[in-house]
Amino acid sequence: MNIKSLIKKALAKSEWDFANSILYNLCENYREHKSDEIILAKIWIIGRSYAAAIERRKNSEDDINDDFYIEKVVPKIRESNIDTFINQCMKTRQREDALIAHKKLTDLFFELTDLNKRSLASKYLHFHMRDKFYIYDSRVVSSVGILSRELKLGNLTAEISINYDEAYAIFYLKCERIVNKIKSEYGIQLTCRQLDNLLIQIANDKLR
């Protein structure tokens, strides 16, 4: 694996940049969760765009998706303390607060769907705070392991708090290690988005 070449591609301009910029701008310009219309727009567009739609849930046979969004999803998010924990992350920019925020949002989505939505939670939070949340999904989890081995990072040893979603916390810590290793070895500071680009390249190359 030519890691330096993959990093170069991850840093390059992508055809997806404009589409992602729309989501970043949406969440930066309408950060709070007080308006039903704004909440609906954010959770619907991010979920659908990133193959993590919240309407994918257990026991959905009798529910109309439009009603599920309007009657359940939007009020649940509006009445939650999501703005409090997002603001806490923005204020401190600490790993602990990011992982706690992710767990709280994952739990909130579980109450709505009876499914673990850690991927949707990571993506939703990423667009609100792009420099703090790594994007988790099934495509890139194996890529993290592959890249960790290529970079000779060894086994991860860390105590995981009960206040974290364990799978996301382990993924997050591995991503941090990868970013730090690339910075020390190649002199390049990857953003969360650039790391995601790198991991997706590895996943796609594996499929090819």
Amino acid code (one letter) for 184 = S
Domain boundaries, the chain: 3-14+135-207, 17-128
Distance CA 60, CA 134 (A): 29
Structure tokens, 54: 């919240």
Distance CA 9, CA 183 (A): 16
pLDDT truncated to tens, each residue of the chain (208 aa)? 889 999 999 999 999 999 999 999 999 999 999 999 999 999 999 999 999 999 988 776 667 788 899 999 999 999 999 999 999 999 998 999 999 999 999 999 999 999 999 999 999 999 999 999 999 998 899 999 999 999 999 888 888 899 999 999 999 999 999 999 999 999 999 999 999 999 999 999 877 7
Count other C-beta atoms under 10 Å from residue 96's C-beta: 12
Structure tokens, 56: 């994918």
DSSP 8-state code for residue 134 = P
Which SS3 state, helix, strand or coil, does residue 161 take? coil
Structure tokens, 153: 């990072």
Distance CA 117, CA 133 (A): 15
